[in-house]
Structure 1
Amino acid sequence: MSGRMTQLLNELRVLFFQRISNVDNDMYSTAFIQDVLLITKELLRMEEVAYFKYDDWTQQFYMEATTGAFQKSVLAASDTLITQWNRSENEGYIVPDQLFMEIEGFQAFISLHVDHQMVGLVGFKEKTSSAFSYLQEDWLIFSKEFATIMETVLCIAKTKHKEQRYKQLYRVTEQFHSSMNMTAVLGEVISTLQNVYPTFDYYLFLSQDSYGHGNLPVKELDYNSENVAAMQAYLTGKLQFEDDYTDRHSILYAPLLGKQGVYGVLQIIAPNSLLFPPSELDFITLLANTAGSAIENAQLYQQSKRLVADLQLINETSHYLNSNTCLNDTIRFMKRQIIQSFQANQSGFVLLSDDGALQLLSESSSFFETEDAQVYLSFLKRKIEEEKESQFISDVTVYIEEVDLEYRSLMAVPMMENSILRGFVVVLHKEPYFFSFDMFKLFQSLIHHSSIAMMNSILREELEKMVITDHLTQLHSRSYLDRQMCESMIADDQGTFILIDIDNFKKVNDTYGHQVGDEVLIQVAKVIQRNIRDTDIGARWGGEELAVYLPKVDLHIGLRIAERIKDKVAEQTNPNITISCGVSYWSKERCNNVKELFKRADEALYIAKNTGKNKVLLQQCDC
C-alpha cells in the first residue's frame, strides 16, 4: 500500500479517536462526516468526495454531505443492485460502468453497511475524468478501512437515534399513564408522531366514539366503511399496509391494542415512499400498543367513575323513594333526576289503566299533553305491550316515517308489578343518537329500582283516595269534608258552605229504579266537579244529599256558584231533575263554628225544599 494511502488512513483514525474521546463533540453528526470527507479529499487529491445516505422510505440515495457544491442529487438504485451490494464479498469500490450516469464525474463508490444492510455510499471524483487511477489492491485496502470507520460512526448514530426514540417513547409512556383523559392520550400520540415524522399525515379511527376530541384528526371507524385495511387492523389486532405506487405513498394501520381489546386504529400516511422500513415498525407498534393500554386505562377509570356515580344516583333515588313521599313528590323527584342525569329534553310518566287507556301522571313534561306526543305514546304502548321490553331507539324516524317528529332520540322502560305491565317512563331528545348505550343501561336500572317505590306511591294514593272518597259519586267523604273545613277555619279568613239535596229523589227511584237513582247521583256529582275549583271540596253528605265547601270564598261568589250548579243540574241530567241548595257563610268577624255552619245550611235547605224546591236560599248567622 502506498505511503499516501497509509497517511490518509492514519489521519482518519486520529480524527475518529479524537472525536470519540471528546464527549462534547457530536461524532455522528453531518459535520463529522464532512470533516472525514475533507481530509479524504486532501490526502487523495480528489476533486470532490460526497456522502449519499440511503433512505429506507424511498429506496433512494440522497446527497447529505460533500466537499464540492452541494446539490440535491439523488441516486436511484434497483433492488438487484441493493441485493448485490448487501453481499459481503462485494464490499469495497464500485466503478459505475453505466450505473448512476445522472451523477456525472464520480468514478468510484464505497458502499457502507450497518447490520448487513446498505446505509449509504461515498462517491469519489478525481480531478481528471480519465479512468480511476488507484491500484485495485490499494483501493480495496483503503475502502475496507475507510468503510470500517464510517460504518462505526453510522452504527453509533443509529444507536443514538434508537436511544433518542426510546427515550421519547419512555417520556410519552409517562405522559400516558399520568393522565386518565382519553383526549390527552390521543393528543400525545399525534404530538409524538409529528415530532418523529413531521412530514407525515395521521388519523385516528375510533370505534363508536361519542366523545369530542377538540382538533385531533379523529374519524369514526364504521363497520360499513370502504377502508378495508383499517377494519382489518381493528378486527385482527395486527399491522396492515396499503401501498399506492401511483401517488407514491405508503399507509400503515396500527391497532391501538390494550389487554382487553382494540380501541381504535392509528393511520400513518408516509408521502413519497413505497413501503414502511422494518426498523420503523417496532417503534410505531410500541407507540400504538402503549397508547392502546393508556386508552384502556383511561376508559376503565372513566367507567369506574361513571359506575360510582351511577350507584350513587340509584342509591340516592332509592333512599328518597322509600321515604313514603306522596306520588307527586315522587314523580317530581324522578323527573329532576332523569333530566339532570341524561340531559333529556322531555320526560313522561305513563300509567296503563285496566282498559288499556293511557294515563299521564301530572309531573310529566307538558309536551306529553300535546297532540304531537300522542304519536310517541301510541307507538311505545304498542311496542312495550308486544315485547314487554325496554326501548332504546337512536332515531325514532326509522320507525315512524309518516310524520315530522321534533324529538329523534328515545328511551323507554316499562314499569312492572308482579310481572304485570303497569306503565312506562319515557325520555326524549331532539338530536338523533344522543343517548349512549351506557345511558340506556343506567336508565333501565334507575327505573327498575324505582318502579316498586312509584307503584307503592300510586297504591298508597289510591288507598287514601278510597278512604276519603265516596265509592258511588267519586266525591269526597263527609269525614274528609269535616276535617278540611275545621282546618280552613283555622288557617283562612272566610269560606262558604253549600248543602245540596236532589228534589223528589224518592220519586226517581220509584219511577225508574234504584240503578237509575244511582246514575242521577253520579250525574249531579259530575256537575259539581265541573263547576268548582281543584281547591274546593265536593262531598257526599249522605243519601241523596251532597255538599260543597268553598274555602276563602266570600258569600256573594258562593251564592253565584250555588246558582250555577243548580242551573247546570237542571240542564244536564237525564232523567231531568232539580236540586235545592242551602248556603251558609263564615268569616273571622262572624261566628266560625263548623256545627253552626252545617246547621244554618241545613235550615236554609229545609226552607228551600218546603217553598217550591229548585232554588238557592241563604241562612244568615244570628251572631
Structure 2
Amino acid sequence: MEVLEKQLIANLKSRFFDLIDTEKGLLYYEQFLKEMLYVVKSFIGVDELTTFNCNHWSRELFIEASTNEELNTNNQFTLLYDEFQDYVSSKSIIHQPIPFKNFEQYELLIPLKRNQEVFGYLAFRGIANCNCSDALLVEIAKECCSFLHKARGLCDVIFEEKRYKQLFRVTEKFHSSMDMDAVLEEIIDTLQEVYPTFTYYLMLSHDNNSHKNLPIKDLEYDNENISAMQAYLTGTIQLEDSIQEKRSILYAPLKGKQGVYGVLQVIAPNAMTFPNREIEFITLLANTAGTAMENAQLYQQSRKLISDLQLINETSHRLNSNLRLSDTISFMTEHFQSSFDAEEVGFVLVSDDFEQWKVIKGSTSFFYSEGASAYLQYISNKIKNERDSIFLGDLNIEYLLTKFKSVMAVPMVQTEKIMGFALVMHRLPYHFSFETFKLMQSLIHHSTLAFTNSMLREELEKMVITDHLTKLHSRNFLTEKIQRSMSEDAFGTFILIDIDNFKQINDSYGHQVGDEVLVQVSSVIQDNIRDADIGARWGGEELALYLPKIQLDVAVVIAERLVRKVSELTHPSITISCGVSNWTKEHDDDNFTKLFKRADQALYVAKETGKNKVIVQEVIA
C-alpha cells in the first residue's frame, strides 16, 4: 500500500477514534454507524454510502443506515438473502452491474465481515470523484468493521452500566415502598425503559388485586400457560420460542425467600431465541422484585394482623362491658362492615329444629326485608346439615332477587348447641378473603358467650319485672315508671282494672280457668296499648295500666275500649271495671300515692254501681 493510502487509513482511524467520545452523547450503535458513514463519505468523496443487513425471520435485506436522509431505514427489500449471499460471499468487492433488484443504483458493494462472518454490506453510489483503488476500499471496509465491532462493544458496556444503574435505582425504590401496587408498577416502568420494543405481563394469582392500570393477567393452569405455571411451581426461568409467531417468550418467577408470588412474562418480538444477556438482567430484576413483593406482602400481612388483634381486643373489651344485647349486636355489625367491607351483616337466632329464626336487633336493615328470607333459609339449612361455617365466593341461587355473591356465615355455638349464626354478604364475587373468614370465625367464637350472657341477663331482668302468669310488668316496675314520669313528664293517666266476679269464676270453673281468664284479659290489654304504655299485674285479679303523656279524655276512651273488648273476646265471657285518675304538673302537691288512691276510689264506685264500666276520679283542686 502506498504511503498516501496508509496516511489516509491512519487519518480515518483517527476520525473514528474521535467519534468514540461519550460526552458527545453517541451511546447507541445506530448513532455510531451513521456517523461512521458520514466520515467515510467525506474521506473518499462519494455521493452516498448505505449499509444493509439481513432480517433473520424474513431472510430479506433491509437498510440499516445511510447518508441519504431520504432513504427509509428498516425498509425491507423483497430479496432472498440466501441467494444474494451466495452471489457475494466469495467476493471482497462487487462492481456494477449488481444483478439484484434495488441495487442497480449502486456502483460498488463490499461485504462487512468479522472473523469471516458477514454481518452487513456497504454500498457506494456516485464514485466518479473517488480516486481510491479497490484494495483501499476493501481496507477501508475492514477498518469500518473493526470500528463497528469496538463501537458495539462500547455500546454494550454503556448499556450494561445503564441497566445496572437502573437495577440499583429500582432496588432502592423497591425496598423503600411497602405498597404492592407500587412495586408492580416499578417493574413495568423499568422494563419499558430498558426494552421499549418488548411486551410485558405480570401473571398473578386471584389473591393479588391491583387497582392500577397495569398489564396483569390471572395465573391459571391451561394449555396456553404451561410454561408460566412451570416457572411458578419450580421457581426457575422458562423460555418459549415460536418460529410461527416470530417471537421468543421468557417467564421469570417473582420469588422471595418464602415462596413465588407471580410470574413476569416478557415477549421479545422478531427474535428466534431470547437474548442471553437480557435473560440475566430480567432474572435479577424479577428476583429483586420478588423479594420486594414478599416484603410488601409481609408488611401488609403484619399490619392486617395488628389490625385484627386490635379488633379482637376492642371487641372483647366491649363485649365484657355488660352492653345490652342490641348494643352488642350493633357494635359487632358496625365493626364487621368497616373491617370486612361487608354490605350486609346479620345476627340470627334459630330454633332447635332450625325451622324458625329471629333476626337480632342491631343487624342491617336488609335482614328485616322479604328478600332476606331466602338467604336465611338457605344458610340455615346449610348450617343445619353441615354443622360448620360457610365460606362462599360465588353464590348462585336463581330465584333470589337481590344477588349477593360473597357470603360468610359462622354458627354461634354454646355448650355444643347451635343457638344461631352470624352472616355477612357482598354483591361482588370473591369479595372476602380466606383470612377475613378465619378472623370472623375467631370473633364469633369469642363473642358467642357474651351474646349468651347478654340474652340471659336480659331474660333475667325481664323475669324480675314481669309477672310470670300474665306476662305483664310487675307492680314494682309500674310504680317506678309512674314516679319517674311524674318527675319528668307534664301529665299522665293511671287506670286500675278489676275482673268482675272473679271469685265466682274460680268457684264455678276452678282456679285453672281463673288463671286463663287473667291471661286473656292481659292479652287484650297488650293488644290495645302503645309500646310506651305500661301494663302490670297489680295483685290478685287486679291489673293496672299507666299511659304517660296521655290526657284524661283520651285515657277514658282507651279504658272504655278495653271494657268492650274484654266482654267480646274472653271465654268464658267476663267483664271488667276500671277506675281512672290523672295527674298534671299544675298540682305541685300531687304524688303517686294520691294518684293511686283516686283510681282506687273510682274503681270502688264502678264496682258498687253495677260493674262493667269506667269511672273517673279527677284531681280535686
TM-score normalised according to structure 1 size: 0.84
Shift of 1:326: 1.8
User: Shift of the alpha carbon at 1:199?
Assistant: 3.2
In 1, are the aligned partners of 2:247 and 2:267 still within 8 Å (CA)?
yes
Paired position in structure 2 for 1:610: 608
Pair 1:394 & 2:393 matched: yes
- Matched to 2:516, the amino acid is E
Deviation at 1:41, TM superposition (A): 6.5
Please report the RMSD computed on the Cα atoms of aligned residues, expressed in angstroms: 3.9
**Structure 1: distance between partners of 2:479 and 2:34:** 110
CA drift at 1:515: 2.6
CA contact (8 A) 1:194 1:200 kept: yes
SS of structure 2 residue aligned to 1:204: strand
**Residue matched to 2:572:** 575
- The reply to whether residue 563 of structure 1 matches residue 575 of structure 2 is no
Q: Which residue of 1 aligns with 2:248?
A: 250
Deviation at 1:604, TM superposition (A): 2.4
- Measured after TM superposition, the shift of residue 140 of structure 1 is 9.8
SS across alignment from 2:336? helix
The residue that corresponds to 1:479 in the other structure is: 476
Separation in 1, partners of 2:22, 2:248: 41
Query: How many residues are matched?
Result: 606
Aligned residue number for residue 526 of structure 2: 529
What amino acid is the match of 2:485?
Answer: S
- TM-score using structure 2 length: 0.85
Indicate how the Cα distance of structure 1 residues 47 and 339 shifts in structure 2: closer, same or farther if over 3 A, else same.
closer
**Aligned counterpart for 1:110 among listed residues 85, 109, 112:** 112
After superposition, the Cα gap between the structure-2 partners of 1:474 and 1:100, relative to the gap in structure 1 and judged at 3 Å, is: farther
Aligned to 1:168: 166
Q: Which amino acid aligns with 2:522?
A: A
Q: Provide the C-alpha distance between the structure 2 equivalents of 1:28 and 1:337, rounded to a whole number of angstroms.
A: 59
Match of 2:492 in 1: 495
Q: Which residue of 2 aligns with 1:271?
A: 269
C-alpha distance in 2, partners of 1:245/1:36? 34
Partner of 2:383: 384
Q: Per-residue deviation at 1:180?
A: 2.3
The residue type paired with residue 277 of structure 1 is: P
1:459-478 alignment, distance < 5 Å: 459-478=456-475
The CA deviation at 1:461 is: 0.9
Task: For residue 5 of structure 1, report the CA deviation from its aligned partner.
Answer: 6.0
Q: Secondary structure at the match of 2:367?
A: helix
Post-superposition offset of 1:490 = 1.2
Whether the aligned pair in 2 keeps the contact of 1:583 and 1:619 (CA below 8 Å) is yes
Q: In the alignment, what sits opposite 1:14?
A: 14
Match of 2:365 in 1: 366
1:171-229 Cα offsets, whole Å, 9 max, x none, are 22222222222222222222222223323333332211563433322233344685434
In structure 2, what residue type is equivalent to 1:186? L
Specify whether residues 355 and 472 from structure 1 end up closer, same or farther in structure 2 by C-alpha distance, changes over 3 A only: farther
Aligned to 2:542: 545
| Deviation sequence 1:53-104 (CA, Å, 0-9, x none) | 677898887543346785646699989999xxxxxxx9996989xx996684
CA contact (8 A) 2:521 2:566 kept: yes
Matched with 1:347 is 345
* SS of residue in 2 equivalent to 1:476: coil
Change (3 A) 1:475 1:25: closer
Does structure 2 retain, via aligned residues, the 8 Å contact 1:4–1:44?
no
Q: CA deviation at 1:507?
A: 3.2
- The answer on whether the counterparts of 1:8 and 1:40 sit within 8 Å (CA) in structure 2 is no
Question: Compared with structure 1, are the counterparts of its residues 367 and 472 closer, same or farther at alpha carbon in structure 2 (3 Å cutoff)?
Answer: same
- Pairwise CA distance, 1:375: 0.9
Q: State the partner residue of 2:64.
A: 64
Q: Deviations over 1:514-541 (max 9, x none)?
A: 3332222222222111111111111111
Amino acid at match of 1:320: R
Identity %: 51
For 2:519 and 2:31, locate their aligned partners in 1 and report how far apart those are by CA, in whole Å.
Answer: 107
Deviations 1:430-483 (A, max 9, x none): 333333333333333333333222222222111111111111221111111121
Q: Give distance in 1, aligned partners of 2:581 and 2:138.
A: 132
Instruction: Tell me, in whole angstroms, the C-alpha distance in 1 between the residues paired with 2:157 and 2:56.
Output: 16
Range with bigger deviation, 212-221 or 487-496: 212-221
Consecutive unaligned residues of structure 1, counting only runs of 5 or more, are 83-89
The one-letter amino acid of 2:202's match is: L
Letter of the 1:374 partner, please give it.
S
Q: How far apart are the structure 2 equivalents of 1:413 and 1:295?
A: 33
Displacement after TM superposition at 1:16 (Å): 4.8
Q: 1:277 to 1:404 in 2, by over 3 A?
A: same
In the alignment, the residues of structure 2 paired with residue 80 and residue 499 of structure 1 have an alpha-carbon distance, to the nearest angstrom, of: 120
1:451/1:521 CA distance change after superposition, 3 Å: same
Q: Which residue of the partner structure matches residue 314 of structure 2?
A: 316
Match of 2:156 among 133, 155, 158: 158
Q: Which amino acid aligns with 2:111?
A: F
